[in-house]
Structure 1
């Protein structure tokens, strides 16, 4: 097998099919966020970074004690 393959035979240098145009961005109208912030002021959003070591059932009581929040 001394024959070398050309770039076309390898599939290199071929133009990829064009992707469809992206959908335009959604524009959200301006609104007063005060009520939204008030309704969600105690919400916690996060994730456990090491689930093999950190357990959610142990982390929640720790955080409530740390923040001095009654459940």
Structure 2
């Protein structure tokens, strides 16, 4: 027997019903949030190869600009 058990809600039909309803709403919110996170994570993994290609192109352009500056300095 647990002597230290504390009841947060009084044992009445309305309070128990509202507690269960709140618990279901909270669970539904958690499910929606986890679904949203899973979709966002999937979008990121799908886009990652495109982001890598974009970064590679940016690096190639920067390297071309660097070589152009070196050539201008050499010719000047």
Instruction: Please say whether Structure 1 and Structure 2 have the same fold, judged by a TM-score greater than 0.5.
Output: no
Higher normalized helix content (fraction of residues): 2
Bigger-Rg structure (1/2): 2
Q: TM-score scaled by structure 2? A: 0.28
Q: TM-score scaled by structure 1? A: 0.29
